[in-house]
């Protein structure tokens, strides 16, 4: 397996379309601000900041790998991707447990969107 090629593919999937990436970041910010407004709690903003930090970490790992990558470089990049996905998904799961129908519906929409994104991502740039 050419690990450099695979790391480059991971980069193209997440950052290859700057408009789509920007829209994702804006939607996360809107969601965090909406939760701030609805719950009067900063947890939505903490989630947004954590998600942005996870993206920064993932981006940095993908861009700083050497020209000739080893299996360990690929494993680090893959672990960063899993961390990024967990940084997104923990909050909708937390909201899904609330007794508020609006929060449950929002959480279901966020989880559904995540599942669609993961399936689309798997089919991209194979």
User: Does 31 map to a domain?
Assistant: yes
DSSP H or E run through 44: helix 43-63
- Tell me whether residue 126 is in a domain: no
Cβ atoms of 57 and 87 within 8 Å: the answer is no
How far from the centroid of its chain's Cα atoms is residue 12's Cα? 14
Segment 5-32 shows an average pLDDT of 93
Q: Enter the DSSP assignment of 125.
A: T
38-91 confidence digits (pLDDT tens) = 999 999 999 999 999 999 999 999 999 998 999 999 999 999 999 999 999 999
User: What distance in Å separates the CA atoms of residue 12 and residue 112, rounded to the nearest whole number?
Assistant: 23
Q: Take residue 105 and report the two structure tokens written for it.
A: 């519906």
Domain count, the chain: 1
60-31-43 Cα angle (round to 5):
80
Q: Which residues span the domain enclosing 101?
A: 3-121
């Amino acid at each position: 397996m050419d690990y450099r090629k695979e790391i480059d593919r991971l980069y193209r999937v997440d950052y290859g379309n700057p408009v789509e990436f920007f829209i994702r970041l804006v939607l996360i910010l809107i969601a965090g601000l909406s939760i701030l407004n609805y719950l009067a709690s900063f947890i939505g903003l903490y989630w947004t900041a954590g998600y942005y930090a996870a993206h920064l970490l993932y981006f940095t790992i993908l861009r700083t790998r050497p020209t000739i990558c080893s299996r360990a470089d690929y494993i680090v990049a893959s672990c960063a991707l899993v961390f990024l996905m967990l940084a997104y998904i923990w909050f909708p799961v937390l909201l899904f447990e609330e007794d508020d129908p609006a929060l449950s519906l929002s959480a279901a929409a966020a989880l559904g969107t995540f599942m669609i994104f993961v399936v689309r991502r798997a089919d991209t740039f194979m």
